[in-house]
């Protein structure tokens, strides 16, 4: 009884329980707010089973022997007992869908995909709905949302030589799309990003076709995955990094297509049909991030940021507007919290996906003697505020993802996701230059 | 036009089979999902540091970094726990607005060098004044924190983390070749010498501002046993609802919280921290052409509550594991569900006897793991980081996938 009374005092009159004197201007506790404890019911991105997986960036040396080639390997796991079909799409760095194929995954299946095998050798993973299932897996016909097992009987296999040549050309030169437009940047290695969606069959419909989102996409949060980035070259790498794929949940989960979601907009917003702009129900990604860097020092550490950015084009046929999308320069804090930024009003740019050294002119220089610190970035491409022809369904910041890649000494490498400062549903991201302004107003 | 009609027809047809209605919340700091967002507590689930090496360049080491993402100054309380969950060392760090602090566990454990921070440090030009955080105590004792531990304290710390015992002869950790344990970092209101075993830590000291972020790097410079590094974000545990002064519980939506077992019985959700999950999916590779191997670094909630009696921590040594199912590349399942025990913090090879065997000749697959220790009416809290390595030069660390958040009923085993 006495303890209960004490607890009541602690809760109701917290100041009485203080061991010291609190400052007079104590901020009052925030009022209870709308919260959820359910799964698949928030806008927060987390490493939990999802309906779409995003590999934000890959690079593959398609001209080198596999033992010398930079490669990216990613794995997709079906965490459910039911079979699933996963649609894998390989996009150029300007968000042109270069290649897509389906994976039939038996219940609890795992499929690892070497992008070297796909992009250098044209070997697309072979899966079949007739594959023997594991003892704990449901029958391959047990997922009522898969429309046709027949279409999944023989997926994958070798790409035709002409198709492989086109894929390689687009991912290294940006040239080769059927539209005749340039759809990618020039690279010394095949470069782009990958999405993996839960779908209802092994159709060949293009991800550039809006009916893919309204008729093919499913909403079961059952996929998980990770990637490994390997650089065996002893001169330029001799190291590996890796991370979970970005897990985008369908909210709410399950069922068939409906536009009914509390999300203000969705990951595939740009591609969805008129009148049903949230039909994919995928969580949107944020725009502002905190990312650490090390640049030099005794360990000679270096840092690259992988920047994945939502495209600014309205579709995926001619994507030149995605080649150099602007963003507000970052604020760089050194070890003594000295903030640095580029000249006021200056905007820098990058394509949909890129890996950029923190020594790049995209970022403000280090102004003190320190070699480490962190940056605040708002990668909004501003396309959502265009008066006409906005690619987005609402007036909003664009979606983005940032990964940090630290490397040193020809043997150490660490990849990890940067910290999202808010989730993708909240549009109240402060301009990063306002941080500097706040300091000046102090 | 024809396509638009077709889409409309499909939408109309399928609307009856639409998604189940779920109440969805889109606000920040309003869910039980663990993600990489600024948080009020950071967890480094496992560290190893070789204190026998005389220089850090040859020592296995773990370095972690804490960033204050807010303009206001913050105080972070760092606690080193043994692998049995005993707090072996606790110290504060004063972080100016937008301040950052990197901590080498070698410096800390081998040399006894705690990071030195001052509330009198000059803040950056964009940072708020060092006395501007309204939740700080007036007399917060942050004039100077850190410094070098005296030899006796350093050796006592090393005994706790390496030998697993200090003064009493009771076990507070396993015996290891190198120092091992885990770390928590909490946002607090003062640098006063109060640690998580003191009830006033929860009632008077802990704050609720989701402002900290951080990451770790695990470095093994030994060319024979390692020659690589791995790293990942720290586990970001948010306070919900966020903000306010110490000592106020607020209306916490969670069924229980991260620090549940340390809290006063009458205020069991006083920390407001998100609870961690119990069931995970974790991939493995064992051999093959690349010779990859896999360790699972596992953090588990202990069974011992807030006690300074060192003799009560031995019961954390063998916490039961509910179920482990191993799926190979052909979904052949092998299962282990009895007799598996693991302590609160450990690194485990995927070929260890705790895990069911790989039987059909494959070299890869994944684990379905329920780590519930069965000590409570609810599922216990856990975290898994996957560590893959090969060829004396490749290593990758990444968080395993949690299959349901810490607030929900764990999924049934396959």
Q: What pTM, to 2 d.p., does this model score?
A: 0.94
Please say if the pLDDT value at position B237 is more than 80.
Answer: yes
Residue A81 to residues A87, A136, B154, B169, B268: CA-CA distances in angstroms?
18, 7, 51, 49, 37
Residue A11: CB atoms within 10 Å: 17
Please say if the pLDDT value at position B337 is more than 80.
Answer: no
CA dist., res. B332 & res. B23, Å (int): 37
A137 Cα to chain B: minimum distance (Å): 8
Half-sphere exposure of B169 (CA within 13 A, CB side): 0
Closest CA in chain B for residue A45? B35
The whole-number average pLDDT for the span B18-32 is 82
- Determine whether the interchain pair B124/A336 forms a contact, defined as Cβ–Cβ distance below 8 Å: yes
Q: What is the structure's pLDDT at A434?
A: 72
Q: Which of A65-74, A88-97, A292-301, B150-159 has the lowest mean pLDDT?
A: A292-301
Mutate to test the interface with A, among B6, B35, B106 (most CBs of A within 10 A): B35
Q: The domain containing residue B106 runs over which residues?
A: 41-402
- Determine whether the interchain pair A39/B404 forms a contact, defined as Cβ–Cβ distance below 8 Å: yes
pLDDT, tens only, B116-129: 999 999 999 999 99
Mutate to test the interface with B, among A116, A213, A224 (most CBs of B within 10 A): A224
- Does residue A242 belong to the interface with chain B, where contact is any CB pair within 8 Å? yes
pLDDT, tens only, B163-196: 999 988 899 999 999 999 999 999 999 999 999 9
Q: Which of A66-75, A228-237, B5-14 has the lowest mean pLDDT?
A: B5-14
Q: Is residue B33 part of a domain?
A: no
Mutate to test the interface with A, among B73, B286, B401 (most CBs of A within 10 A): B401
Q: What is the structure's pLDDT at B16?
A: 38
B414 neighbourhood in chain A, CB within 8 Å = 81, 108, 136
Mutate to test the interface with A, among B98, B137, B293 (most CBs of A within 10 A): B98
Q: What mean pLDDT value characterizes chain B? A: 91
Please say if the pLDDT value at position B232 is more than 90.
Answer: yes
B189 neighbourhood in chain A, CB within 8 Å = 22
Q: What is the structure's pLDDT at A11?
A: 36
Q: Is residue B276 part of a domain?
A: yes
Q: What percent of chain B has pLDDT over 70?
A: 94
H/E segment holding residue A226:
strand A223-231
Q: What is the structure's pLDDT at B214?
A: 98
- Determine whether the interchain pair B398/A19 forms a contact, defined as Cβ–Cβ distance below 8 Å: no
A338 neighbourhood in chain B, CB within 8 Å = 124-125
Closest CA in chain A for residue B236? A419
The whole-number average pLDDT for the span A221-239 is 92
**By the 8 A CB rule, do B250 and B241 touch?**
yes
3-state SS string over A110-139? Answer: EEEEEHHHHHCCCEEEEECCCCCCCCCCCC
Per-residue pLDDT band at A237 (split at 50, 70, 90): confident
Please say if the pLDDT value at position A140 is more than 70.
Answer: yes
Q: What residue ranges do the domains of chain A occupy?
A: 52-441
B200 neighbourhood in chain A, CB within 8 Å = 17, 19
**Number of domains comprising chain B:** 1
**By the 8 A CB rule, do A400 and A285 touch?**
yes
H/E segment holding residue B13:
helix B2-14
- Determine whether the interchain pair A46/B33 forms a contact, defined as Cβ–Cβ distance below 8 Å: yes
Strand A353-357 with A325-327, pairing: unpaired
Mutate to test the interface with B, among A48, A218, A287 (most CBs of B within 10 A): A48
Please say if the pLDDT value at position B138 is more than 50.
Answer: yes
Please say if the pLDDT value at position A50 is more than 70.
Answer: yes
A105 neighbourhood in chain B, CB within 8 Å = none
- Cβ-nearest to B217 among A27, A77, A414: A414
Q: Which of A115-129, A357-371, B145-159 has the lowest mean pLDDT?
A: A357-371
Q: What is the structure's pLDDT at B391?
A: 80
| Termini Cα distance of chain B | 47
- Determine whether the interchain pair A45/B35 forms a contact, defined as Cβ–Cβ distance below 8 Å: yes
Q: What is the structure's pLDDT at B250?
A: 79
Q: Please, what's the largest Cα pairwise distance for chain B?
A: 82
- Determine whether the interchain pair B402/A47 forms a contact, defined as Cβ–Cβ distance below 8 Å: yes
pLDDT, tens only, B258-283: 999 999 888 899 999 999 999 999 99
Residue with tokens 């760089």: A332
Mutate to test the interface with B, among A49, A82, A108, A231 (most CBs of B within 10 A): A108
A426 neighbourhood in chain B, CB within 8 Å = 26-28
- Determine whether the interchain pair A49/B281 forms a contact, defined as Cβ–Cβ distance below 8 Å: yes
Q: Is residue B383 part of a domain?
A: yes
- Cβ-nearest to B25 among A35, A224, A257: A35
- Determine whether the interchain pair A21/B65 forms a contact, defined as Cβ–Cβ distance below 8 Å: no
| Termini Cα distance of chain A | 50
Q: What is the structure's pLDDT at B256?
A: 96
CA dist., res. B319 & res. B94, Å (int): 36
- Find residue A224's DSSP bridge partners: A77
- Determine whether the interchain pair B281/A250 forms a contact, defined as Cβ–Cβ distance below 8 Å: no
Q: What is the structure's pLDDT at B288?
A: 67
Please say if the pLDDT value at position A42 is more than 90.
Answer: yes
CB within 8 Å of chain B, chain A residues 413-432:
413-423, 425-426
Q: What is the structure's pLDDT at A301?
A: 82
- Cβ-nearest to B35 among A46, A110, A253: A46
pLDDT, tens only, A110-128: 999 999 999 999 999 999 9
- Determine whether the interchain pair A18/B247 forms a contact, defined as Cβ–Cβ distance below 8 Å: yes
CB within 8 Å of chain B, chain A residues 177-196:
none
Per-residue pLDDT band at A297 (split at 50, 70, 90): low
- Determine whether the interchain pair B6/A435 forms a contact, defined as Cβ–Cβ distance below 8 Å: no
Q: Is residue B2 part of a domain?
A: no
Please say if the pLDDT value at position A274 is more than 90.
Answer: yes
Contact residues for A393 (Cβ-Cβ < 8 A; gap 6+): A265, A269, A272, A277, A278
Residue A153: CB atoms within 10 Å: 14
Q: What is the structure's pLDDT at B393?
A: 84
- Determine whether the interchain pair B248/A273 forms a contact, defined as Cβ–Cβ distance below 8 Å: no
The whole-number average pLDDT for the span A359-388 is 91
Closest CA to B382 of B338, B321, B326, B291: B321
- Cβ-nearest to B30 among A3, A28, A42: A42
**By the 8 A CB rule, do B359 and B334 touch?**
yes
Please say if the pLDDT value at position A300 is more than 80.
Answer: no
Burial, A300: exposed, middle or buried (Cβ in 10 Å; 0-12, 13-18, 19+)?
Answer: middle
pLDDT, tens only, A403-416: 999 998 788 899 99
A389 Cα to chain B: minimum distance (Å): 19
- Determine whether the interchain pair B7/A442 forms a contact, defined as Cβ–Cβ distance below 8 Å: no
A17 neighbourhood in chain B, CB within 8 Å = 200, 203-204, 247
Task: List for chain B the helix, strand, coil content (%; round to 5).
Answer: 15, 35, 50
Q: Is residue B23 part of a domain?
A: no
Q: Which of A314-318, B147-151, B275-279 has the lowest mean pLDDT?
A: A314-318
Q: What mean pLDDT value characterizes chain A? A: 89
Q: What is the structure's pLDDT at A235?
A: 83
Closest CA in chain B for residue A79? B281
Q: What is the structure's pLDDT at A28?
A: 47
B126 neighbourhood in chain A, CB within 8 Å = 331, 333, 337, 339, 435-436, 438-439
Q: What is the structure's pLDDT at A167?
A: 98
Closest CA in chain B for residue A11? B248
- Does residue A6 belong to the interface with chain B, where contact is any CB pair within 8 Å? yes
Please say if the pLDDT value at position B49 is more than 70.
Answer: yes
Q: What percent of chain B has pLDDT over 90?
A: 80
B403 neighbourhood in chain A, CB within 8 Å = 48-49, 79
């Amino acid at each position: 009884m006495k303890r209960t009374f004490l607890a009541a005092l602690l809760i109701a009159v917290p100041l009485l329980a203080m061991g010291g004197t609190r400052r007079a201007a104590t901020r009052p506790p925030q009022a209870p707010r709308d919260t959820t404890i359910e799964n698949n019911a928030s806008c927060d991105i987390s490493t939990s089973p999802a309906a779409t997986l995003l590999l934000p960036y890959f690079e593959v040396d398609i001209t080198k022997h596999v033992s010398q080639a930079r490669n990216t390997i990613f794995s997709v796991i079906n965490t459910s007992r039911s079979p699933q079909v996963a649609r894998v799409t390989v996009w150029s760095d300007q968000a042109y869908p270069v290649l897509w194929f389906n994976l039939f995954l038996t219940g609890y299946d795992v499929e690892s995909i070497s992008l070297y095998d796909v992009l250098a050798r044209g070997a697309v993973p072979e899966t079949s709905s007739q594959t023997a299932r594991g003892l704990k897996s449901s029958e391959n016909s047990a997922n009522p949302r898969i429309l046709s097992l027949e279409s999944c009987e023989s997926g994958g296999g070798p790409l035709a030589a002409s198709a492989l040549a086109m894929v390689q050309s687009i991912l290294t030169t940006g040239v080769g799309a059927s539209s005749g437009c340039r759809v990618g940047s020039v690279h010394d290695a095949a470069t782009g990003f990958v999405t993996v969606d839960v779908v209802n069959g092994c159709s060949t419909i293009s991800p550039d076709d809006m009916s893919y989102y309204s008729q093919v996409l499913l909403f079961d949060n059952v996929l998980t995955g990770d990637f490994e980035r390997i650089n065996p070259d002893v001169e330029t790498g001799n190291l590996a990094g890796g991370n979970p794929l970005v897990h985008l949940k369908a909210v709410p989960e399950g069922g068939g297509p409906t536009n009914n979601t509390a999300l203000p907009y969705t990951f595939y917003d740009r591609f969805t049909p008129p009148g049903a702009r949230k039909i994919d129900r995928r969580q949107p990604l944020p725009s502002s991030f905190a990312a650490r860097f090390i640049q030099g020092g005794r360990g000679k550490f270096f840092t690259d940021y992988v920047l994945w950015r939502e495209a600014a084009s309205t579709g995926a046929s001619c994507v030149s507007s995605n080649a150099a999308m602007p963003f507000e320069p970052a604020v760089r804090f050194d070890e003594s919290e000295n903030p640095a930024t580029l000249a006021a009003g200056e905007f820098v740019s990058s394509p949909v996906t890129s890996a950029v050294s923190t020594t790049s002119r995209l970022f403000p220089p280090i102004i003190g003697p320190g070699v480490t610190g962190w940056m605040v970035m708002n990668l909004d491409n501003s396309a959502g505020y265009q008066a006409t022809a906005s690619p987005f369904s609402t007036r909003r910041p664009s979606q983005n993802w940032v990964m940090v890649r630290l490397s040193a000494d020809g043997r150490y490498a660490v990849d990890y996701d940067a910290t999202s400062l808010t989730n993708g549903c909240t549009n109240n991201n402060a301009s990063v230059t306002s941080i500097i302004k706040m300091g000046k107003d102090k | 036009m024809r396509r638009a009609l077709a889409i409309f027809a499909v939408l109309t047809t399928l609307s009856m089979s639409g998604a189940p209605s779920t109440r969805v919340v889109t606000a920040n700091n309003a869910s039980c999902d663990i993600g990489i967002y600024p948080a009020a507590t950071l967890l480094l689930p496992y560290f190893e540091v070789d204190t026998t090496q005389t220089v850090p360049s040859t020592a296995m080491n773990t370095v972690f970094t804490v960033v204050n993402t807010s303009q206001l100054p913050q105080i972070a309380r760092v606690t080193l726990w043994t692998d049995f969950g005993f707090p072996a060392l606790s110290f504060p760090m004063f972080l100016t607005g937008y301040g950052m602090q990197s901590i080498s566990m070698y410096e800390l454990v081998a040399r006894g060098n705690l990071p030195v921070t001052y509330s009198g440090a000059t803040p950056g030009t964009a940072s708020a004044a060092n006395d501007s955080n309204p939740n700080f105590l007036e007399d917060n004792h942050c004039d100077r924190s850190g410094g070098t531990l005296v030899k006796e304290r350093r050796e006592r710390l090393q005994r706790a983390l390496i030998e697993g015992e200090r003064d009493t002869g009771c076990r507070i950790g396993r015996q290891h070749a190198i120092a091992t344990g885990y770390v928590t970092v909490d946002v607090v209101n003062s640098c006063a010498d109060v640690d998580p075993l003191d009830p006033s830590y929860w009632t008077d000291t802990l704050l609720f501002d989701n402002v900290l972020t951080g990451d770790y790097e695990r470095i093994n410079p030994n060319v024979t046993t390692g020659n690589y590094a791995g790293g990942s974000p720290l586990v970001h545990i948010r306070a919900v609802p966020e903000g306010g002064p110490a000592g106020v519980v607020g209306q916490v939506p969670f069924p229980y919280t991260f620090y549940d077992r340390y809290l006063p019985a009458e205020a069991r959700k006083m920390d407001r921290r998100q609870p961690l999950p119990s069931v995970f999916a974790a991939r493995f590779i064992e051999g093959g052409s690349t010779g990859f191997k896999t360790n699972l670094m596992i953090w588990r909630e202990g069974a011992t509550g807030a006690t300074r009696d060192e003799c009560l921590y031995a019961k954390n040594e063998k916490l039961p594991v509910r179920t482990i199912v191993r799926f190979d590349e052909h979904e052949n399942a092998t299962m282990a569900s009895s007799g598996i025990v693991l302590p609160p913090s450990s690194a485990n090879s995927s070929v260890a006897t705790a895990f069911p065997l790989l039987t059909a000749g494959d070299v890869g697959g994944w684990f379905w793991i329920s780590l519930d220790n069965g000590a409570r009416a609810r599922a216990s809290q856990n975290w898994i980081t996957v560590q893959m390595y090969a060829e004396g030069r490749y290593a990758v660390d990444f968080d395993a996938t949690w299959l349901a958040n810490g607030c929900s009923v764990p999924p049934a085993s396959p």
